[in-house]
Amino acid sequence: MPDSLHKIIERPQTESTQTRPNNPNFVTNPIRIAHLIETIMSPRICTVQIKGSKRFFSTSLLDFQPQSGSLLLDEISPKEGNSLIRISAVLKLSTFVNDIPLAFKTTIIDQNLKQGIPYYKAGLPERIHYPQRRKAPRVSIEANTLNFEAHTNTHALAMTGQVYDLSRDGLCINLAETSPPLERGHIIKNCRITLPDAYSITFDLSVRSVKNLRGKTQIGGYFLNMPSKCKNKLSLHFTFLERMAIRKYKN
């Protein structure tokens, strides 16, 4: 990271922060905070908790603006979360990086619309909970990948890929090279992922982000029109993955 960025996001230390004991579970160095923020940028999907609500929502980080010390967040899913933000602007975002839980609190500063879709400007966190241990064993994300398929109305295979990031409300996919070009806002119909127990999760996918990296396309999106049975099954599978990740970290 360039020195100019370091200067922009560095904060003056007060007496209280200088005397506060170092907690190894929290990252407070501005350069490391910036690096972690860049790591969890879209298409990775983060779980959102809104102050005053017990529900869980989802969003993704669209942009990181070090000059203003702010983040751009995508709309909250499900949509009810966007209404709750008007009541309480304090959020907690959480996800996993290298199978290690990462979380931080932020406050919504501003809200805007683009093509009718809300997005939010939020403050850069002063610290991130990321209890990283260098000697802790890690499992590559690929170890938990799931196959993704999308079919035409005549059941012909139209798109394939591998899931590399999963939440209760959405997922991120490395698409096969033969997949058609996609843009943010597209709806992919007749999608399916198959869990390790051979149970098929069916849904439509609202594309929220598209990235082209080294000739490969990565997309992130939210689930639409998922049957209740599939939601329950996916939630159980996601809980299992969370517990496995935490267990491996603790070991």
**Torsion over CA: 55, 58, 64, 67 (sign):** negative
Is residue 231, in this structure, part of any structural domain at all?
yes
Contact 100, 244 (CB under 8 A): no
Please report, in tens digits, the pLDDT of each residue of the chain (251 residues total). 444 333 323 233 333 333 344 566 888 888 889 889 988 887 788 999 999 999 999 999 999 988 888 999 999 999 999 999 989 999 999 988 876 789 999 999 999 998 888 999 999 999 999 886 433 333 334 445 689 999 877 767 788 999 888 888 888 898 988 788 888 889 999 999 998 888 999 999 998 888 887 778 889 888 999 999 999 999 888 878 777 766 665 55
Pairing mode, strands 128-129 and 146-151: unpaired
Asked whether residue 112 falls in the same domain as residue 146, the answer is no
From the list 23, 117, 38, 26, the residue with the least C-alpha distance to 71 is: 38
The pLDDT score that the predictor gives to residue 90 is 95
From the number of C-beta atoms within 10 Å of its C-beta (0-12, 13-18, 19+), residue 224 rates as middle
Asked whether residue 123 falls in the same domain as residue 35, the answer is yes
Asked whether residue 7 falls in the same domain as residue 125, the answer is yes
> Which residues form the domain of 107?
3-129
Query: Which of 82, 106, 129 is at the close of a domain?
Result: 129
The number of residues making up the chain comes to 251
The pLDDT score that the predictor gives to residue 182 is 87
Is residue 113, in this structure, part of any structural domain at all?
yes
**CA-CA distance, 101 to 249, in Å (whole number)?**
9
The one-letter amino acid at 148: F
Asked whether residue 149 falls in the same domain as residue 72, the answer is no
Is residue 29, in this structure, part of any structural domain at all?
yes
The pLDDT score that the predictor gives to residue 131 is 80
Query: Which of 76, 101, 129 is at the close of a domain?
Result: 129
The one-letter amino acid at 49: Q
Q: Within a 10 A sphere around the Cβ of 46, how many other Cβ atoms?
A: 23
Is residue 136, in this structure, part of any structural domain at all?
no
Asked whether residue 110 falls in the same domain as residue 19, the answer is yes
Query: Which of 94, 129, 164 is at the close of a domain?
Result: 129
Is residue 154, in this structure, part of any structural domain at all?
yes
* Contacts for 158 with CB less than 8 Å, ≥ 6 apart: 150, 151, 152, 180, 190
From the number of C-beta atoms within 10 Å of its C-beta (0-12, 13-18, 19+), residue 12 rates as exposed
Asked whether residue 121 falls in the same domain as residue 167, the answer is no
Asked whether residue 124 falls in the same domain as residue 218, the answer is no
Phi, psi (rounded to 5 degrees) for 236: -65, -40
Asked whether residue 101 falls in the same domain as residue 172, the answer is no
Asked whether residue 148 falls in the same domain as residue 112, the answer is no
Contact 223, 203 (CB under 8 A): yes
Is residue 230, in this structure, part of any structural domain at all?
yes
The pLDDT score that the predictor gives to residue 224 is 92
Number of domains present in the structure of the chain: 2
* Residue 160, domain CATH: 2.40.10.220
Is residue 93, in this structure, part of any structural domain at all?
yes
Asked whether residue 102 falls in the same domain as residue 155, the answer is no
Q: Which pair of structure tokens corresponds to residue 64? A: 């990181």
Contact 78, 168 (CB under 8 A): no
3-class DSSP state of 48: strand
pTM of the prediction? Answer: 0.56
The pLDDT score that the predictor gives to residue 239 is 79
Is residue 135, in this structure, part of any structural domain at all?
no
The pLDDT score that the predictor gives to residue 7 is 30
Asked whether residue 31 falls in the same domain as residue 99, the answer is yes
Asked whether residue 83 falls in the same domain as residue 154, the answer is no
The pLDDT score that the predictor gives to residue 15 is 36
